[in-house]
Amino acid sequence: MSEATITERQQHWLDHIKAADSFDGSVADYARAEGLTPKELYQWKTILTRRGLLPAKKIRSDFVPVATRPVRSGVVSLVLPNGVRVEFDGELRSEQMHSLVTAASRLS
């Protein structure tokens, strides 16, 4: 759906949402200044996003993917936050490393 095919009501709310985004203050402040409620703005933002009239917000994740490779001959030494120290001498596959760290993290 393009902006040319939206209803007058949708355009009204789209204009308010864009103005609230560029407003020098909170959404609640903008809503009060315009005689609206923040709930209305958020509801319409959701509706217009679902209809493709607003870009979907990217969800930020603090998790970082980690690729592991087998550890070739050498000593692996880990000290976990619970104080447990794990040392292993030999070759480990990533599944084995995961199992070892998971088991050690459950120790107290």
What is the pLDDT, as a whole number, of residue 33?
94
pLDDT digits (tens, 9 = 90+) for 58-67: 766 666 676 6
Largest CA distance in the chain: 70
Q: Is the pTM of this model over 0.85?
A: no
Distance of alpha carbon 27 from alpha carbon 41, whole angstroms: 8
Confidence class of residue 73 from pLDDT cuts 50, 70 and 90? low
Helix/strand/coil for 79 = strand
Has residue 47 got a pLDDT over 80?
yes
- Pair of tokens at residue 92: 């480990």
Has residue 57 got a pLDDT over 80?
no
Helix/strand/coil for 19 = helix
pLDDT digits (tens, 9 = 90+) for 6-45: 899 999 999 999 999 899 999 999 999 999 999 999 999 9
Residue 98 parent element (H or E): helix 94-105
Write the CB contacts of 69 (distance below 8 Å, at least 6 apart in sequence): 94
